[in-house]
Structure 1
Amino acid sequence: MVRQDYHLSERFEVAFNQIHDSLRSIIKIKDDRFKVLLNIGARKHKMIGKFYNELTQYAKLRNSLVHDKRELGYYIAEPHIDVVERIEKISSVFNKPNYALSIATRNVVTLDCEDSMLDVIQEIRKHGYSQYPIYQNKHCVGLLKTVDIVSWMSKNVINTMVDLTDIKVRDIISDVKEHPIEYVPKSIDIFSVEDLYENKHKDKVKLEAVIITGNGKNNEKPLGLVTAWDLIEIDYTAD
């Protein structure tokens, strides 16, 4: 609860400084000027981009309030209450934990290399997911996508029929291209996952999924799965 005896200008400055601190921790560069952090952050992270225009205007207001001070506790003007409450709401968004697990698919359905494809088809019908982590000897060894199954079937059609009776998952994944995936710990935040996708893109690698486990190891139970689409669909709001 905000104390009512604080000046609006003080409340505004506190919220602004909290956002500035958050930008420093997210962007992690030597130049910690607010505008620089904001510009870089808006290009890399959806949350920062969402509030870019507002924060640009608030930066101008903050500079006016702070640089024109003539004595301690004195501000040349008081911002409107609506402006103060808005920047406080944005600050609360920046400061709450943004764990990647919060946007991940939690019910991760995994398959084993020795699973029958007939059983796999049933799992796909039941869950409707488009990709499934594949395990062998309790280690994740890759990712199977429904498009891989369709591709395999198209190559193995005989007289308009595809016989899956003796086909196992390992038969499919041995015949399709490998899908790049990464393993990360449950403590990772959304910004780090966004950076991971961006860095892979710079290396011309199409990262298909990020699998979240307890400590980021491929022999641990998957706690969540994040795709590039999940990052696009993030709905940050301060309303």
Structure 2
Amino acid sequence: MYSNSERFLSAFNRIEKVLKSLLIKKEMGFSRAVRVLRDENAVIKRYTDDLLEYAELRNAIVHNKIDVAFAIAEPHDSVVEQVERIERELTQPREVDPLFMKEVVVFQQDEPLANMLEVVNQKGITKFPIYKGDEFLGLITHKGITKWLAKGLRNSSEPVLDARLTDILQCETGDNYKFIKSGTSVYEAIEIFKEQIGKGIRIEALLITRKGTKSEKLLGIVTNWDIMEV
């Protein structure tokens, strides 16, 4: 039965090995490596504070050992579980495939709003990719629908439910989505949402294709609500 200090040090050493594999300068210290790599690796960025604290804990355990078999301090269970979790995320990162791979409900630009509202009512979905044949045109969300309704009710005598989706798409911003490849890690996806918010842009969904291009078949979707659940 391994002690908490042994489990902690084993996981920490494996994390250190991963960091070194990502560095050009292999002799760089652990804490410095974390700071250098955090802008390149979403998992490291997510756990930067934890990793820096664990570096101090590692030093305390290793440098203050009474002998080889006895550590002066034993990490709490929650600390050991967290460092092992970080190790798993670094060595076996969760990817959007298969977590968010699913059949996506899409519409053609010339379909009526009634068709979309029926799906909203039946399935509770509120984000829909819009196509012209096989060409991706944009993403309609509940916000765009609401904006169009407010505008359309004032300026149009056409029955609301007969409106074409191409018209409603004009009420959406063109930057409310991004395409990502199926091999994208969950933490990379999270960072995309966060980075866009930092730029004052609200991403409503990440659209998944094999290589991350809009000309490919749509394989899945990650919404901001999905990310909140993760």
Q: Shorter-chain TM-score category?
A: 0.7 to 0.9
Match of 1:197 among 166, 186, 193: 193
User: For 2:64 and 2:147, how far apart are their aligned partners in 1?
Assistant: 66
Give, in angstroms, the shift of residue 9 of structure 1: 5.0
TM-score by length of 1: 0.70
The structural deviation recorded for 1:11 is 4.0
- The code of the aligned residue for 2:93 comes to P
Counterparts in 2 of 1:149 and 1:25: CA distance versus 1, 3 Å: farther
Cα distance, 1:95 vs structure 2: 3.2
With over 3 angstroms needed to count, the CA separation of the structure-2 counterparts of 1:91 and 1:158, relative to structure 1, is: closer
Q: 1:80 to 1:106 in 2, by over 3 A?
A: same
Query: Does the CA contact (< 8 Å) of 1:99 and 1:189 recur in 2?
Result: yes
Answering whether residue 219 of structure 2 is matched by residue 223 of structure 1, we say yes
Task: Point out the more displaced range, 141-150 or 221-230.
Answer: 221-230
Report the CA distance between 1:18 and its aligned residue. 2.2
The match for 1:168 is 164
- The AA in structure 1 aligned to 2:210 is G
Q: Which residue of 2 aligns with 1:74?
A: 68
Distance 1:74 1:230, change over 3 A: same
Residues 164 and 23 of structure 1: CA distance in aligned 2, closer, same or farther (over 3 Å): farther
Which amino acid in the other structure matches residue 208 of structure 1? Answer: E
> Which residue identity is paired with 1:173?
L
Counterpart of 1:120 in 2: which secondary structure?
A: helix
Give the secondary structure class of the aligned counterpart of 1:66. Answer: helix
Residue of structure 1 in register with 2:107 after alignment: 111
Alignment of 1:52-201 (within 5 A): 52=49, 55=51, 57-67=53-63, 74=68, 77=71, 80=74, 83=77, 86=81, 87-101=83-97, 104=100, 106-157=102-153, 163-164=159-160, 166-201=162-197
The whole-number CA distance in structure 1 between the counterparts of 2:181 and 2:155 is: 48
User: Comparing both structures, which one devotes a greater share of its residues to helix?
Assistant: 2
Secondary structure of 1:170's aligned partner: helix
| Aligned-residue CA RMSD (Å) | 4.1
Count of matched residue pairs: 225
Is the 2:43–2:90 contact (alpha carbons within 8 Å) kept by the matching residues of 1? no
TM-score (norm 2): 0.73
CA distance in 2, matches of 1:132, 1:176: 12
Seen in structure 2, the aligned counterparts of structure 1 residues 62 and 171 have a Cα distance that, compared at 3 Å, is same
SS of alignment partner, residue 179 of structure 2: strand
Calculate percent identity across the aligned residue pairs: 25
Counterparts of 2:218 and 2:227, CA distance in 1: 18
Letter in 1 for 2:223: T
Return the letter of the residue paired with 1:129. I
SS of 2:160's equivalent in the other structure is coil
Superposed displacement of residue 62, structure 1:
1.2
Deviations 1:100-138 (A, max 9, x none): 245537342111112122212212212211211111121
Deviations 1:11-57 (A, max 9, x none): 4322112233456789x897964445279859x9689757955x555
User: What are the residue-to-residue correspondences of 1:27-42 with 2, within 5 Å?
Assistant: 33-35=29-31, 37=34
Aligned partner of 2:71: which letter?
A
